[in-house]
Structure 1
Amino acid sequence: FTSDLRWSNTPPITDKQTLSKLCHKKAAPVICASDHTNKDKEKRQATSQTKRTKMSSSAGNQVRASHILIKHQGSRRKASWKDPEGQIIRNTTQDSAVSQLKVLRDEILSGKAKFDDLASRYSDCSSAKRGGDLGPFGRNQMQKPFEEATFALKVGEMSDIVDTDSGVHIIMRTG
């Protein structure tokens, strides 16, 4: 065959052995081209699906973090594990919560205290029982400001004050 010669209706070849023999001969580029095109298309689709699966899988797109949460009167839930009635939280302004977190953050940065110790003592989140550890999580599992701050941090870095509907936080990315 030359590139000028083409069958107008390619005869159907259903026998895989015959097709394989034809594809290995140089005299049959037209027949083989469609076979390889389909294989290439299938391979591209499989590769694309694998990439989508990896991107959406939690393993490839997860972080791990610890945090200290201070709730205040503007928080969506006014109770915590250490203040079940929410009396302290109802009397805490956002400004005082931010001030408290700044003091805690400075203690951590200066080396006077460890993050997990302060989280255990001061955080209004039940994760305080684990030193503030939230475990691994992926995108769209936390409130947007919290997620964005955490994913922007490098492992071992601590955030500035992060404000969410739950209260104000400092976040330490741990993984």
Structure 2
Amino acid sequence: MSSSAGNQVRASHILIKHQGSRRKASWKDPEGQIIRNTTRDSAVSQLKALRDDILSGKAKFDDLAARYSDCSSAKRGGDLGPFGRNQMQKPFEEATFALKVGEMSDIVDTDSGVHIIKRTG
């Protein structure tokens, strides 16, 4: 392992944007029609249901990310690749670094929307 191993993580995520998101458009909703009509509570409920499906084994994280995430990383199953400190929004960074490899977060709020994060490296 390199000396910087503890300074970088790799993660995948599922992002659901909502009315309070700083950018109300995504690859699957370019005009933001759905996002503008999605409350934060609704986005959280959707993410919780997806998280439950993953935890119960009904679905795989990367499949759900590809289908439901508002992030362009959806085409990679939510994979964001490796990143270090100060490269992501603070709540996202803190949640990711707190996870062990293979663990999945609870709901994480950022300016982008609400996320569930899976640490993959």
CA RMSD of aligned residues (A): 1.8
Unaligned runs of 5+ in 1: 1-54
* C-alpha contact 1:72 1:93 (8 A) present in aligned 2: yes
Structure richer in helix, relative to its length: 1
Structure that is richer in strand per residue: 2
User: Partners in 2 of 1:158 and 1:141 — Cα distance?
Assistant: 20
How far apart are the structure 2 equivalents of 1:138 and 1:91? Answer: 34
Count of residue pairs brought into register by the alignment: 121
Change (3 A) 1:57 1:166: farther
Q: Write out the 4+ residue segments of structure 1 that deviate beyond 3 Å after TM superposition.
A: 55-60
Q: Distance in 2 between matches of 1:73 and 1:100?
A: 14
Distance (Å, rounded) in 1 between the aligned partners of 2:40 and 2:4:
33
Higher Cα Rg: structure 1 or 2?
Answer: 1
Structure 2 spans left out of the alignment, 5+ residues: none
Shift of 1:151: 0.1
Report which structure shows greater RCO (CA 8 Å, sep ≥6). Answer: 2
- TM-score between the two structures when normalised by the length of structure 2: 0.96
The Cα of 1:57 is off from its aligned counterpart by 7.7
Tell me the CA shift for residue 132 of structure 1.
0.1
What TM-score, normalized by structure 1, do the two folds share?
A: 0.67
Do the aligned partners of residues 56 and 168 (structure 1) sit closer, same or farther apart at CA in structure 2, a change above 3 Å counting?
farther
